Amino acid sequence: MPSQSPDPDFAGPDVERRKIPRVSLSSEQFRLASNGKIFAVADLSAEGMALRLLSFEDRVLFPLGTAIDGWLNIDRRKHRVKADVRNIRGEYVGCEFSELGSEVRAELSRWLDPIELGQTLRLMPTPVGFGGAAMEWIWHSGRSGTAVLGKVTPGIDGANREELEKVVVVLWGTQFVEWCLGKKPTTGAVKFVDDRGAVQGVFRVAPEWFETDSAIDPVKLNIARKLLEHSKLPESWKRWVTERSEGAEHGS
150 plus 30 within the same structural domain = no
59-64: long-range contacts at Cβ-Cβ below 8 A with a sequence spacing of 24 or more? 59/88, 59/93, 61/32, 61/34, 61/35, 61/37, 62/88, 62/93, 64/88
Which of these, 20, 26, 56, lies nearest to 41 by C-alpha position? 26
Give the pLDDT mean for 41-68. 92
Q: Per this entry, what is the length of the chain?
A: 252
* Per-residue pLDDT tens digits for 163-202: 899 999 999 888 999 999 999 999 999 887 665 556 655 5
Count the Cβ atoms, other than its own, within 10 Å of residue 19.
19
pLDDT at res. 169: 96
**Domain edge (last residue) among 74, 92, 113:** 113
105 plus 41 within the same structural domain = yes
* Per-residue pLDDT tens digits for 25-35: 677 999 999 99
* Per-residue pLDDT tens digits for 217-227: 999 999 999 99
* Per-residue pLDDT tens digits for 87-142: 998 888 999 999 898 999 999 999 999 999 999 999 988 765 565 544 588 899 99
92 plus 159 within the same structural domain = no
Give the pLDDT mean for 230-250. 87
Identify the CATH number of the domain in which residue 103 sits: 2.40.10.220
78 plus 133 within the same structural domain = no
What is d(CA 189, CA 171) in angstroms, rounded to the nearest whole number?
A: 9
97 plus 171 within the same structural domain = no
Domain hosting residue 93, numbered range:
26-113
168 plus 98 within the same structural domain = no
Give the pLDDT mean for 133-155. 82
Query: Is 103 within the bounds of a domain?
Result: yes
Phi, psi of 196 (to 5 degrees): -70, -25
Query: Is 105 within the bounds of a domain?
Result: yes
Query: Is 10 within the bounds of a domain?
Result: no
- Amino acid identity of residue 229, one-letter, is E
**Domain edge (last residue) among 113, 135, 158:** 113
Full-prediction pTM beyond 0.75?
A: yes
163 plus 192 within the same structural domain = yes
What is d(CA 136, CA 47) in angstroms, rounded to the nearest whole number?
A: 34
Q: How many distinct structural domains can be found in the chain? A: 2
pLDDT at res. 27: 78
86 plus 187 within the same structural domain = no
97 plus 125 within the same structural domain = no
Query: Is 7 within the bounds of a domain?
Result: no
Q: What is the β-pairing status of strands 92-99 and 48-52?
A: antiparallel
**Domain edge (last residue) among 62, 90, 113:** 113
41 plus 90 within the same structural domain = yes
pLDDT at res. 5: 37
What is d(CA 179, CA 71) in angstroms, rounded to the nearest whole number?
A: 37
Query: Is 44 within the bounds of a domain?
Result: yes
